[in-house]
Amino acid sequence: MVIRLISDSMRKKRINILGIETSCDETAAAVVADGRVIKSSVIASQAKLHEKYGGVVPEIASRAHIENIYQVITESMEQASVSKDDIDAIAVANQPGLTIALVVGVTAAKTLGFAWEKPLIAINHLHAHLQSAMLAKEKPKLPAAALIASGGHTCLYDYRSPLEPKLLGCTIDDAAGEAFDKVATILKLPYPGGPSIEKTAEKGNPDSIKFPRSMLGPDSLDFSFSGIKTAVLYYCHGQDMKGEDKVNSMSEQEIADIAASFQAAVIDVLVKKTQRAVARTGAETVLLGGGVAANNQLRAALQKLCNSYKPAKKLMVAPKQYCTDNAVMVASLGYHKFKAGLYTDLTLEAKATG
């Protein structure tokens, strides 16, 4: 049955993949044709629900996914003007992420795959973030050094094909986005922290405070951002943490200077590690994706790095609306796995790591 369905759909002009994403705090579904024609993208953000906690609460995220998933998938099909008969396969992010959040998308995808008799495709959420940097029209020269900086992960890859990015290094503690979120909480800036730090930093001096840049040795491609977060905490509360919370009495300028100096330190590390990855892989191109990729200063700093090579390297960045979690990237990568015949079955499980 599956073989007949696949050969039927291969003959059609366009391959339509329904993508489903629930790995963290966005419930998302999208229909993408041939891996790059975005027919719909629906995202139900839970930012408001998690705001007062300064981070994502897994149980609240899972419950909200359950409440939203049906509506989000229905809307994505309606916006794309497709019925189940037009869908060739269902791709779902099943790892890594919050297991009780992922399981909602995985269960929805398995149910639809079974009911509609469509192939099911398992997607690694981080590989999908990489794919979002490939949505541009032009094809990149490969290999590429690929940086994913998000709320849950910070990783570098040797990227030679969408199907098998090779992990070169990742964070050993906090992810870059997590550091932005935690520092925003320290500075009493609104959640999510990334956009509010970026905005506040616009008025600050990035050279005013020398926060530490953790490089983890001369050859490491791993990251560590917990030290800089603690440095900001000590700066605001004193080394012994017994001092007053100075943030309450700080001027707007002082807060802007901390935000700008923190942002500059994080970007410095991300850029230098990417430079190492370029040297390690002989990359022709640099790919950038993940929520932190929405940061204009990071985009500019990586562009500067790429321009510094002779000849210059090409920088490919995910379009802004596809930097943070979305299902377009899931459906787009699903297309490549569909073409390669990489299907999964109904035993698919959600996994925290991957």
Residues that bind ligand KG4 (CB under 6 A): 24, 150-152, 177-178, 180-181, 192-195, 198, 290-292, 294-295, 324-325
Which does residue 162 bind out of ligand KG4, Zn ion, none, counting CB within 5 to 8 angstroms by kind? none
26: CB partners within 8 A, 6+ apart = 43, 44, 45, 46, 324, 325, 326
Which region among 146-154, 185-193, 225-233, 275-283 touches Zn ion (by CB under 5 A)?
Answer: 146-154
H or E stretch at 306:
helix 296-307
Distance CA 86, CA 6 (A): 12
Q: Could you tell me the strand order of the sheet in which 37-45 lies?
A: 37-45, 26-33, 16-21, 89-95, 120-124
For residue 53, the one-letter residue type is Y
Tell the smallest beta-carbon distance from residue 345 to Zn ion (Å): 25
Q: Which is nearer to Zn ion, 154 or 200 (CB)?
A: 154
Please tell me whether residue 150 binds Zn ion under the rule CB under 5 A: yes
Binding partner of 180, given ligand KG4, Zn ion, none, CB within 5-8 angstroms per partner class:
ligand KG4
Residue 177 C-beta: closest distance to ligand KG4, Å: 3
CB of 93 to Zn ion, least distance (A): 9
For helices 252-281 and 176-186, give the axis angle rounded to 10 degrees: 170
CA end-to-end span of the chain:
31
Taking CB within 5 to 8 Å according to partner kind, which of ligand KG4, Zn ion, none is near residue 294? ligand KG4
Q: φ and ψ at 246, to 5 degrees?
A: -65, -15
| Interacting positions 308-347 with Zn ion (CB under 5 A) | 325
Q: Minimum distance between the CB of residue 8 and Zn ion, rounded to whole angstroms?
A: 33
- The least CB distance from residue 185 to Zn ion, in Å, is 20
Binding site for Zn ion (CB under 5 A): 150, 325
